[in-house]
Structure 1
Amino acid sequence: MSKKQLIMDKSLELFANQGFEATSVQQITDYCGISKGAFYLSFKSKDELIVALIDHFMQQLTVDIDLSVRTTKSDDILYYFYHTTFQAFLKHANFVKLLMKEQTHSLNDELLTKMRYYDRKTDQTILTMIEKVYGEAINKVKYDLIFAIKGLINGYSSYLLFNRMEFDVDLISRSLVEKTDTLARSITIPFITEDYGNMFQQFHDEKVSEDDLYHLIEETIDELGESIEKESLILLKEQIRTPTYHHAIVIGLIENIKNHSQYKWLTYLLTKHFDF
């Protein structure tokens, strides 16, 4: 585990118990067993650490949901979408509670930009899903249905969280599939229309720039010791600038890093970049 990942994992435990404001950098370094100098080599400030934690959480959730939608048969896709979403909610409940409790601390411009990005990624994933399930039948209402689905998720998540309720992921997933089905077949007066679709398509056409992806790989390589993951990333970095390897080799290199949770977002960006 890299020093940066260690700090993130351990600080999350402290933040969950004490909150953002009450947790100092000194407490974090003591808990991690490192010096303040080592902390500041990874993060410029506690605020930067908090943004990194939220960014990491959203990356993991985005990748998991996108993967469930792209790899599931259309008959089951709605169920697995909701199941993946609420399984993540259950797994990271303490972190979600922390965000809702102290969100005002985190509302800086950088984080707001990131949250807008992930929100639009979620919109794209939901659109892909409902087009697979319902086809052209929902063309006039599909953008409205996106917001209805997000409203169901947010409403039920808040209810479960504030009431500290244990819940059956399978049951809530099946229940929300039924509600989504009803909405998809019943909406006749959409509020969100094609005007949003034009803006939405512009976002869909966007990709992470080659330079940004290249630098992200460089940062990741710097954190790694000698390993198959490091060697694979070095070759993938070269492939971005000078494509020379066969498609199958690139897939193999990405396979070498995909099963490690700390590289999940990077794997996702690489698959998008190479159009897998």
Structure 2
Amino acid sequence: MVKRQLIMEKALELFAKQGFEATSVQQITDYCGISKGAFYLSFKSKDELIIALIDQFMMQIISDIDYLVINSNVEKLLYDFYYAIYYNFQKHSDFAKVIMKEQSQTLNKELILKMKYYDKLIEKSILRMIERLYGDEVEEIQYDLMFSIKGFMNTYSQLFVFYNVPLDLQLLSVSLAEKTNLLAQHMTIPFVSRELLHLLEPLNEEITGEQILDNLEQIIGEMDESIEKESLMLLKQHLQEPVYSIAIVKGLVENIRSHPHCKWISYLLRGYYGF
């Protein structure tokens, strides 16, 4: 296992148990069985490690959501969306709880900006889902509907944070899908306009081919020989000198989509090529 990934996995276990602030670099290195020098070869600080873990956590969730928003059958899209949200939250519940707690307490500007950035990406996927589901019928209320969906996501996530009881994810997803459809059908008074949304927090950061190449090179260097690595290398070559049809590019991206270390790059590539 690559040492950077080992540190991230072991630190994740400690953070989930103790929280960010209560866990020291010394504890992390002891738990990993490495020296502090080895730690600082991978991460400049504990804060950098925390950001890397949040990146990994949010990238996987957002890439999964974006994929199903584009590819799920419209009739079950809302259910799939809510189920994916809460399945990921339940699967990583210990770390998700830590993130929610740290968000409410942190003064780390980089962490705050990072979470705002991912929040805007989630909004982008929700708006795409609304477009697929309802089209022009909800044009005037689409942003209010988007905030309502985010409200459902945030409010019901408290069931996982504050109550240690088994939850029926299927029933929860069906219930929230019904509530969302009722709002879409009967909401008549819009409040959030496109202009207001942009004033609140515009998302202007567009990914470039050069940035994707940098990501590809890093991932390729970390991966063992596999069909995913071969696909990554072909995608890198295509970015540098386009030779494949869009169908082949989609196939290569599909090859890497399910690999845990490739979810974000597949998300970036889908956005870059527009599929």
Q: State TM-score, norm by structure 2.
A: 0.90
1:33 and 2:33 matched: yes
Match of 1:175 in 2: 175
Q: Cα offset for 1:104?
A: 5.3
Match of 1:119 in 2: 119
Match of 1:214 in 2: 213
Match of 1:71 in 2: 71
Q: Does the aligned pair in 2 maintain the 1:127–1:146 contact within 8 Å?
A: yes
Q: Cα offset for 1:46?
A: 0.6
Match of 2:253 in 1: 254
Residue type at the aligned position of 1:234? M
Over the matched positions of the two proteins, sequence identity in percent amounts to 52
Distance 1:177 1:45, change over 3 A: same
Q: Does the aligned pair in 2 maintain the 1:16–1:95 contact within 8 Å?
A: yes
**Alpha-carbon separation, structure 2, partners of 1:66 and 1:246:** 22
**Alpha-carbon separation, structure 1, partners of 2:102 and 2:271:** 33
Residue type at the aligned position of 1:11? A
Residue type at the aligned position of 2:119? D
Q: Cα offset for 1:91?
A: 0.7
Match of 1:56 in 2: 56
**Alpha-carbon separation, structure 1, partners of 2:49 and 2:97:** 18
Match of 1:83 in 2: 83
Q: What do the CA deviations read for 1:219-251 (whole angstroms, capped 9, x no partner)?
A: 223323455444433332232122233445434
Distance 1:234 1:160, change over 3 A: closer
**Alpha-carbon separation, structure 1, partners of 2:107 and 2:233:** 35
**Correspondences of 1:139-158 after superposition (within 5 Å):** 139-158=139-158
**Alpha-carbon separation, structure 1, partners of 2:125 and 2:90:** 21
Match of 2:9 in 1: 9
Residue type at the aligned position of 1:102? E
- SS of 2:47's partner is helix
Match of 2:236 in 1: 237
Q: State TM-score, norm by structure 1.
A: 0.89
Residue type at the aligned position of 1:239? H
1:108 and 2:104 matched: no
Q: What do the CA deviations read for 1:93-141 (whole angstroms, capped 9, x no partner)?
A: 1011112233356542322222222111111211121222222221111
**Alpha-carbon separation, structure 1, partners of 2:127 and 2:38:** 43
Unaligned runs of 5+ residues in structure 2 are none
Q: What do the CA deviations read for 1:55-82 (whole angstroms, capped 9, x no partner)?
A: 1111111011111211111111111111
**4+ aligned runs moved over 4 Å, structure 1:** 104-107, 197-200, 225-228
Q: Does the aligned pair in 2 maintain the 1:66–1:125 contact within 8 Å?
A: yes
Match of 1:271 in 2: 270
**Alpha-carbon separation, structure 1, partners of 2:250 and 2:186:** 43
Residue type at the aligned position of 2:134? Y
Q: Cα offset for 1:256?
A: 4.0
Match of 1:99 in 2: 99
RMSD (Å), alpha carbons: 2.3
**Alpha-carbon separation, structure 1, partners of 2:152 and 2:65:** 16
